[in-house]
Amino acid sequence: MPRSLTIPEFIEQIPALRAGDDLLLSGTLFTARDAAHKRLAQLINDKQPLPLPLANAVIYYCGPAPARPGDAVGPCGPTTSTRMDPYTPLLLSQGVRATIGKGKRSAPVTEACRAYQAVYGVVTGGVAALLSRKVRRSEIVAFADLGPEAIWRLDVVDFPVTVALDSQGNSVFDLVTKQ
């Protein structure tokens, strides 16, 4: 049975969460894909102001499709996470506490999750339209020129996430291959 948590509760619970825990998250997620990550990394490296707060942020690897009239957002399925691996340790060092996407993560991301007490969650791919029903409000908050790769703020209710990599470095992908 999934546990329902608001984003602040989720952040507080990170040390106690374990790989395989099923959650229903409610609160604010920020989307970011490859191009947005590259820009954020450049801003951080150049010591420039960031367009959103990274402290205690949850980043969902997603590029939402345009919304139909009356919908908060269009289909918003997860993007393959390994494409963000080169940037993830830097973003975690800036206070990001969780990332959400699909697929296994690299050893440097696993180490960064341990070092910064962060987690990585997975969302089932192929259910983008269903996930969009969990979004109550959306808005572009940065890099609008990137189109679908802009950074969006998504206000979600009961967004289904499975902890795939916990803050101790345990991975559901490793647990499955060991059985």
Q: Return d(Cα 121, Cα 20) in angstroms, integer.
A: 9
Residues marked active site are found at 37
All structural domains of the chain: 3-178 (3.20.130.10)
Residues 6+ apart with CB under 8 A from 78: 60, 61, 62, 100, 101, 102, 122, 123, 124, 125
Looking at the DSSP assignment, which residues form a beta bridge with residue 27?
A: 156
Structure confidence by residue, pLDDT tens digits, 42-77: 999 999 999 999 999 999 999 999 999 999 999 999
Average pLDDT of span 105-127: 96
Do the bridges between strand 22-31 and strand 3-6 make them parallel or antiparallel, or are there none, so unpaired? parallel
User: Whole-model pTM?
Assistant: 0.95
